[in-house]
Structure 1
Amino acid sequence: MRYAEDHKAQTHHRILHEAAARFRRDGIGATGLQPLMKALGLTHGGFYAHFKSKDDLVEKALRCAMDQVEGLRAQTLADDHSALAFVDMYLTSEHRDHPEWGCPLPTMSAELGQRGQPSESTDKLIHQVLSELEAGMSTVPQAGDKSLMLLSGLVGALVLARSAKDPQLAERILQTTREQLKQYIADV
């Protein structure tokens, strides 16, 4: 059986998207190559026709995850009161409960840092979000520092909310942080 001309590109795309979702949902270390490939109906050996190593896949999947959420983030931050809207969009129970669809920073950056494998893609995403937040607070003194504080609060709150077993505590973390960060923005 002959494959379509773009079969390899399509397969590469499927692996990237599945890995991006699994790395955000389950973590990098917990995502094995064999189960990943099996979920796609592919063989483990076929992985190496697409990627040099798991580290290569991690870096490319991180970029894929960034691309998947960029449009929504950029649209939210382009609107009036963008920082307020971004806080409301980011600190939701849906984002908490579905990391596979959301921002890669809470799951992937924590694990990459813990493994001693910081990523240039993570740096790029952080700089990009900070720049967009800062642009929305351009008239505020020390907007760069304040945007860094805002992003740190968002990511940290999501990490804590995801780790809480008690659903009321998890929701309280999101709600309180959302309210406090919005007040912080309003005060600046």
Structure 2
Amino acid sequence: MRYSETHKAETNQRILKEASERFRRDGIGATGLQPLMKALGLTHGGFYAHFKSKDDLVQQALRVAAGNLEASTTELFAKDHPLARFIDVYLSTDHRARPDLGCPLPTMAAELGQRGEPSPITDEVVRSRLNSLEGTLSGPQASEQSVVILSALVGALMLARSVADPQLSDHLLQTAQHWLKQTFSAETV
């Protein structure tokens, strides 16, 4: 049975969405192609009709995750007190609990770096977040401050997700959130 081009494009998007979520939630290495395809009701062999390799899928899924992040933060940065809002959303218990729908940096970027496979898409995500953060700051050190803020956000979220003690996890999020907002309140928080 031959499928239409729209069917193939829709299937491709379903695979990318599922892979993007699984890579962010479970990690790249822990996400097997066979379980991924099975979850979508597709065959493992059908994967290669859409992607050259798992690495190809990783890059395209990272692009999807980056697009999702951009869409969700563009609106956030257009509102009043964008830095405070971004800090609150990024270090929220919801973001901690839903890595599959959140920022790809705490999971995918760490794994790609550890594997020695940095991605230009990660560069784009980092630059975009730094530009957004820098745009909320003022003064000659805004560029450096945006690096510190992004690093603290990603690091705090990674730690909060990695500890078993729920109180410690909450403490990590709340402390980083409070410190960042207090430290950068003179700028625009």
The normalised TM-score by structure 1 is 0.96
1:56 aligns to 2:56 (yes or no): yes
CA-CA distance at 1:10 after TM superposition: 0.5
Distance in 2 separating the partners of 1:4 and 1:47: 17
CA-CA distance at 1:140 after TM superposition: 2.0
Residue equivalent to 1:166: 165
Distance in 1 separating the partners of 2:50 and 2:165: 41
Matched to 2:173, the amino acid is L
The root-mean-square deviation of aligned C-alpha atoms, in Å, is 1.0
Distance in 2 separating the partners of 1:5 and 1:93: 41
The normalised TM-score by structure 2 is 0.96
Aligned length: 187
CA-CA distance at 1:77 after TM superposition: 1.4
Residue equivalent to 2:148: 149
Identity across matched positions, percent: 59
Matched to 2:134, the amino acid is E
Distance in 2 separating the partners of 1:164 and 1:140: 36
Structure 2 counterpart SS, 1:186: coil
Residue equivalent to 1:123: 123
Matched to 1:67, the amino acid is G
Deviation string 1:7-61 (CA, Å, 9 cap, x unpaired) is 1001100000000000000000000000000100111111011001100000000
Matched to 1:30, the amino acid is A
1:75-86 counterparts in 2 under 5 A?
Answer: 75-86=75-86
Distance in 2 separating the partners of 1:35 and 1:182: 42
Contact 1:161 1:174 in 2 (8 A): yes
Residue equivalent to 1:106: 106
Deviation string 1:80-126 (CA, Å, 9 cap, x unpaired) is 22111100110011100110010000000000000000000000000
CA-CA distance at 1:136 after TM superposition: 1.2
Distance in 1 separating the partners of 2:115 and 2:13: 26
Residue equivalent to 1:10: 10
List runs of 5+ in structure 2 lacking aligned partners.
none
1:86-97 counterparts in 2 under 5 A?
Answer: 86-97=86-97
Residue equivalent to 2:30: 30
Contact 1:84 1:185 in 2 (8 A): no
CA-CA distance at 1:3 after TM superposition: 2.9
